[in-house]
Chains A and B, each alone.
Chain A
């Protein structure tokens, strides 16, 4: 008997009419179907904390959530391979419920397959993508707000304004990353530390971001293998247990440009993640012996520290300036050099460093690490892990 069997049930179903010409956007169809299913279940959108759809769907979870009035999401997942995904969406939802990472999961699929992009016509001559994700860029690219550095800079400027942070405060993150990379032979910037003055002197990319606030670009690959904790005990390395694993999407979530929330100086999606990490693991910030914080751009490292509870809101600049992220600090951070210093592997190399820290094999091993927090991309729906040594 698996933990999945009997763990979840279907409580509501809902659909739009089925036609040859819906006359409305695919996003609207998705929202209507989701709202109908939620109502059929006797629930409200605010009760939903998980969404699953197909990778082929144009209606990202964040668009469905912000239009239907859902708030925080703790689980979202996509299944590939066209129609083969259908039942797997339910499997994903059931697994999320069985494992407690979500309480109410809606699985959906919506498209204008007849009046829009007809699969039957084949792949030649595809029209311009006007799905909700592509259309979201319509609010920024015509103004020249096109790059991740620019998107982050908008948050950074507001953060500086509200909390008195400066470019030097961001620069200290780059300096510590590069210091760690300098002693990591696997790092691109091995042997090349920087000073805060060099950070300040580096050219503007998108004010208030200097060049040295921005991560490098990397070709590479990274993988990790998961087995049961029981099985892991029989394998060569000491087990690195997944003490907590969480996803998070906040209310009114956008991709890199959630500029429409009442406050844009935090990362509410990382707050959603953090609360789950501590609840799942029974641990707290003070139990973390190290951290691997996603650092595509330095400014968003600061609100991560705040959202995860390592310091109060607006206080990260002091926390960093006090030296807490150094190898001898309270929270040695990005000991591999981070994405600024080691490699930009979309956060996967950070997970590997978390594993090495628990194994005790990091090139910059601070001391004994029983627990490490590892985060994923910021400014987007995100995720994080607490990895720990076997008890």
Chain B
């Protein structure tokens, strides 16, 4: 596979990612009012079922003794006031909502299973009998693809806003679902390349790579270049550092053609090289646009970029035009 083909593959992935991310900030569920106002009978059923014993939810005197004007609904009932009945939840949808569009797009990516992972409530005020609660839901974020115990998936985070009849916010709920691909169904997408462990000493390099800049750490005191980078200059002991951008030219110092074992993220035979840059530092990289049998020590190479996945871009090298295949 050439770098161009690899890029095309990455561009396809980018396109799907862009379509997913376009949902950020979109109101998935327009404001919808609950079937019944807040009422004492439903509160009573709830607290009995939940084993909730605080009398402020059901006893007028007890509630007044706490300075309230009457019974209040348990905070965690917020969702209950706007739940649709079973029949409504299984009835065919009247129209096509953004919620349905997102679900379809996730299904297209193979994320057909769902499990709730987090619910964080923030309450503005307590609900009292007579309150008419409505809810709307806005998409906050869709994570990059993650490997989880359940399967490969994405965390979809929405914010549900609960309002009273006057339109005032009574509660917000950050709601996180894992939309995942059930293992063993359908073709697995290409595995991601192994993740770099990003820490305070190397993050700048991988950040720059995402911007397609190959940087070399430079001591701010004595100018010594170093790679792999580190927190201290071995030449002078300085803790200050900046970077220079590499010109992107170099030569193969050594190389390997990997056959076994095969990692699912890579095509084999896989050429890995140590390239010495014209600036004098070396780095481990992949060679692209050349057959393994054409690679030789000393081969002049030029920088190219591989967008391996939305989170990982890597500098790779190809033969200088006219060399190699």
Contacts and interface: CB of A to CB of B under 8 A. Distances in A.
Interface of A: 24-25, 27-28, 31-32, 35, 45, 63, 66-69, 128-132, 134-147, 150, 153-155, 157-158, 161, 203-207, 257, 259-260, 264
Given A35-B237, A138-B198, A144-B270, A207 B232 contact: no
Contacts of A27: 201, 230-231
A142 B256 contact: no
A130 B234 contact: no
B296 to A, nearest CB: 9
A132 B200 CA distance: 10
19 contacts: A45-B237, A63-B230, A67-B230, A68-B234, A134-B197, A136-B228, A137-B197, A138-B197, A138-B198, A140-B284, A142-B194, A142-B308, A144-B263, A150-B258, A157-B297, A204-B269, A205-B259, A264-B254, A264-B274
Contact of A154 (B195, B228, B256, B292): B256
A204 B257 contact: yes
B281 A260 contact: yes
Interface residues of B, number: 48
A207 B297 contact: no
Contact of B274 (A131, A146, A154, A203): A154
B227 interface: yes
Contact of B197 (A68, A135, A161): A135
Nearest to B199: A130
Given A144-B265, A154-B274, A135 B255 contact: no
A212 to B, nearest CB: 13
A68 B237 contact: yes
Given A67-B232, A138-B197, 7 more contacts: A31-B230, A130-B198, A139-B228, A153-B256, A154-B256, A161-B297, A259-B253
A373 B233 CA distance: 37
A128 B284 contact: no
Contacts of B254: 154-155, 157-158, 161, 259, 264
B286 interface: yes
Contacts of A150: 256, 258, 272
Given A28-B232, A67-B230, A68-B237, A141 B194 contact: yes
B90 to A, nearest CB: 37
Given A143-B314, A154-B254, A204 B260 contact: yes
Most chain A Cβ neighbours within 10 Å, of B195, B198, B257: B257
Interface in B300-319: 308, 312, 314
A15 B231 CA distance: 16
Contacts of B270: 144
A158 B297 contact: yes
B16 interface: no
A260 B202 contact: no
Contacts of B292: 207
Given A66-B234, A67-B232, A150-B272, A135 B257 contact: no
A259 B272 CA distance: 13
A143 B228 contact: no
Contacts of B200: 24-25, 28
B286 A144 contact: yes
A138 B196 contact: yes
Contacts of A139: 196, 228, 283-284
Contact of B258 (A35, A130, A206): A206
Nearest to A134: B197
B193 interface: yes
A154 B265 CA distance: 21
Contacts of A140: 272, 284
Contacts of A205: 259-260
Contact of A68 (B228, B232, B253, B308): B232
Contact of B256 (A35, A128, A130, A206): A206
A67 B234 contact: yes
B201 A157 contact: no
Nearest to B287: A143
Nearest to A28: B231
Nearest to B194: A141
Nearest to B316: A143
B186 interface: no
A157 B314 CA distance: 24
Given A145-B272, A203-B259, A31 B286 contact: no
B284 A257 contact: yes
B196 A28 contact: no
Contact of A143 (B235, B239, B281, B286): B286
B198 A31 contact: no
B24 interface: no
B255 A154 contact: yes
A70 B228 CA distance: 16
B33 interface: no
Interface in B236-290: 237, 239, 253-261, 263, 265-266, 269-270, 272, 274, 281-286
A147 B266 CA distance: 14
B308 A144 contact: no
A207 B256 contact: yes
Given A135-B201, A158-B254, A260 B227 contact: yes
A136 B282 CA distance: 15
Contacts of B258: 144-145, 150, 206-207
